Chain A
Amino acid sequence: MELQAVLMAAGGGSRMTDLTYNTPKPMLPVGNKPLMWYPLNLLERVGFEEVIVITTKEVQKMMTTDPKMKLDVKMKLDVVCIQEDGDMGTADALRHIHQKIKTDILVVSCDLITDVALHEVVDLFRAHNATLAMLMSKAHEFTETVPGQKGKKKTAEQRDFVGVDQSGKRLLFMANEADLEDGLSIRKSIMRKHPRMLIKTGLVDAHLYCLKKAVVDFLADNKSISSIRGELVPYMVRKQFSKSTTNQTIKDDAEEHNEKKNEGSTNHELIISSRDESLIQLAQERSCWNDHRGDMSEAYHGGKLRCYVHIMDQGLCYRVNTLAAYIDANRLAPKLFDEPAVHPSAVISERCQMGSDSIFGALCQVAEKTSIKRSTIGNSTTVKEKVKVTNSIIMHGVTIEEGCNIQGSVICSNAVIGRGADLKYCLVGNGQRIEPGAERTNEVIVGTDQLMEI
Chain B
Amino acid sequence: MADSGDPEGAGPKDGIVQAKNEGREMTKEEKQRLRKEKKQQKKSKEKKDDKGSQDGGKEKKQSSSDPPSAQPTTHTNTQKAPSAVPAPVPVPAPETAAPADKPAKSKGELKAERRARQEAERASKQGKKGDGGQQAATGKPKAPPSELQPVVKRLPEHVQVDNPEVLRKLAKKLERQQIPLRSDYGYKVSLFSHLHQYSRKAPLTQQLGIPSTVIHPVIVRLGLQYSQGIVAGSNARSVALLHAFKQVIRDYTTPPNEELSRDLVNKLKPYISFLNQCRPLSASMGNAIKYIKKEISNIPSQCKEEEAKRKLLNCIECYINEKIVLAAKAIAKYSIEKISDGDVILVYGCSSLVNHILCEAFEKDRKFRVIVVDSRPRLEGREALRRLVQRGISCTYVLISAVSYILPEVSKVFLGAHALLANGYVMSRVGTSQIALVAKTFNVPVLVCCETYKFCERVQTDSFVSNELDDPDDLIVTRKGKTQLEHWQEVPLLGLLNLVYDVTPPDFVDLVITDLGMIPCTSVPVVLRVKNVDQ
A contact set with B: CB distance below 8 Å: 1-4, 46-48, 106, 117-119, 122-123, 126-129, 275-276, 279-280, 282-290, 293, 296
Known interface pairs A286-B352, A288-B352, A290-B383. Does A2 touch B230 (Cβ–Cβ under 8 Å)? Answer: no
Interchain CB contact under 8 A, A288 and B350: yes
Also in contact, A293 and B382, with CB within 8 A (given A126-B217, A126-B224, A283-B243): yes
Contact with A along B235-270 (1 / 0, CB 8 A): 111011011001100100000000000000000000
| Min CB–CB distance B315 → chain A (angstroms) | 14
Within the complex, the shortest CB–CB distance from A254 to chain B, in Å, comes to: 13
Verify A3–B233 contact, CB threshold 8 A: no
Q: Which of B192-238 contact A (CB under 8 A)?
A: 203, 205-206, 208-213, 217, 220-221, 224-225, 228-233, 235-237
Question: Closest CB of chain A to B354's CB: distance in Å?
Answer: 11
**B interface residues, how many (CB within 8 angstroms):** 43
A-B contact pairs, 8 of them (CB 8 A): A47-B213, A126-B205, A126-B221, A127-B224, A129-B221, A286-B352, A293-B383, A296-B389
Q: How many angstroms from the CA of A290 to the CA of B349 in the assembled complex?
A: 14
Asked if B386 is an interface residue, CB under 8 A from chain A, the answer is: yes
Report A-chain residues with C-beta under 8 Å of the C-beta of B386.
290, 293, 296
Which of A48, A276, A285, A288 meets B210, CB within 8 Å? A48
Q: Is the CB of B233 within 8 A of A123?
A: no
Interface: B89 (CB within 8 A): no
**CB-based contact A2/B211 at 8 Å:** yes
Binding site for A on B (CB under 8 A): 203, 205-206, 208-213, 217, 220-221, 224-225, 228-233, 235-237, 239-240, 242-243, 246-247, 250, 320, 324-325, 349-350, 352, 380, 382-384, 386, 389-390
B205: chain A residues at CB < 8 Å are 119, 122-123, 126
Contacts of B228 in A (CB 8 A): 127
Residue from A118, A122, A127, A283 having most chain B Cβ neighbours under 10 A:
A283
- Residue on A nearest B386 in the bound complex, by CB: A296
Say how far B88's CB is from chain A's closest CB, in angstroms: 56
Residues in A neighbouring B206, C-beta threshold 8 A: 117, 119
Q: For residue A293, which residues in chain B have a CB less than 8 angstroms away from its CB? A: 382-383, 386
User: In the complex, what's the smallest C-beta–C-beta distance from B40 to chain A, in angstroms?
Assistant: 54
- For the complex, give the distance between the alpha carbons of A128 and B222 in Å: 10
| B contact face: mostly helix, strand, loop, or mixed | helix
Kindly state the separation between the CA atoms of A276 and B248 in the bound complex, as whole angstroms.
Answer: 13
Number of A-B contacts (CB under 8 A): 107
| List of 7 A-B pairs having minimum Cβ-Cβ separation, nearest first | A47-B209, A2-B211, A288-B350, A287-B236, A2-B217, A286-B236, A286-B352
Could you say which of B208, B232, B325, B386 has the most chain A C-beta atoms within 10 Å of its C-beta? B386
Name the distance in Å between B241's Cβ and chain A's nearest Cβ: 9
What is the bound-complex CA distance between A297 and B18, given in angstroms? 85
Q: Which residue of A lies closest to B224 (CB)?
A: A127
- The chain A residue sitting closest to B356, CB to CB, is A286
Give the distance to chain A from B415, nearest Cβ to Cβ, in Å.
Answer: 14
On whether the beta carbons of A283 and B380 are closer than 8 Å, the reply is: no
Nearest-CB distance from B138 to chain A (Å)?
33
CB contact under 8 A between A119 and B210, given known A283-B240, A285-B352, A293-B382? yes
Inter-chain contacts of A275 with B (CB < 8 A): 247, 250
Q: Are B217 and A127 in contact (CB under 8 A)?
A: no
A286 touches which of B217, B225, B239 (Cβ 8 Å): B239
Shortest Cβ gap from A225 to chain B (Å): 26
B390: contacting residue among A47, A106, A288, A296, CB under 8 A: A296
**Cβ A2 vs Cβ B240 within 8 A:** no
CA distance A2 to B236 in the complex (A): 24
**Can you name the residue of chain B whose Cβ is closest to the Cβ of A118?**
B210
Q: Report A449 CB to chain B, min CB distance, Å.
A: 45
Set of chain A residues within 8 Å of B232, measured between Cβ atoms: 287-289
Q: Which residues of A contact B233 (CB under 8 A)?
A: 286-288
Given contacts A48-B210, A279-B320, A287-B231, whether A2 and B220 have CB atoms under 8 Å apart is yes
Which residue on chain A has the smallest CB distance to residue B243? A279
Given A279-B242, A289-B230, check contact A123 B203 (CB 8 Å): yes
Q: From A5, which residue of chain B is reached at the shortest CB distance?
A: B211
State whether B320 touches A286 (Cβ < 8 A). Answer: no
Q: Are B352 and A47 in contact (CB under 8 A)?
A: no
Q: How far is the CA of A287 from the CA of B349 in the complex (A)?
A: 12
With CB as the reference atom, state the residue of chain B lying closest to A47: B209
CB of B239 within 8 A of CB of A283, answer yes
Find out whether the CB atom of B230 lies under 8 angstroms from the CB atom of A127: yes
CB distance from B216 to the nearest CB of A (A): 9
- Does B211 lie within 8 Å of A47, measured CB to CB? yes
B210–chain A nearest beta-carbon distance, Å: 5
A117 to B229, CA, bound (A): 22
Interface pair B229/A289, CB less than 8 Å apart: yes
**A2 and B246 contact, CB distance less than 8 A:** no
Chain B: minimal CB distance from A433 (Å): 48
Max count, chain A CB within 10 A of own CB: residue among B211, B239, B242, B243? B211
Contact between B231 and A46, CB atoms less than 8 A apart: no
A122 and B383 contacting across the interface, CB-CB below 8 Å: no
Closest chain-B Cβ to A39's Cβ sits at a distance in Å of 14
- The distance in angstroms between the C-alpha atoms of A118 and B220, with both chains bound, is 15
Q: Determine which of A48, A129, A296 lies in contact with B211 in the assembled complex, contact meaning CB atoms within 8 Å.
A: A48
How many Å from the CB of A206 to the closest CB on chain B?
16
User: Which residues in B have their C-beta under 8 angstroms from that of A282?
Assistant: 239, 320, 324-325
Q: What residues of chain A lie closer than 8 Å to B243, measured between beta carbons? A: 276, 279-280, 283
Cβ contact within 8 Å between A127 and B210: no
Q: CA–CA, A160 to B392, complex, Å?
A: 43
> Are A46 and B210 within 8 A (Cβ)?
yes
Give the contacting residue for A279; candidates B209, B246, B390; CB below 8 A: B246
Please report the C-alpha to C-alpha distance between residue A106 and residue B210 in the assembled complex, in whole angstroms.
10
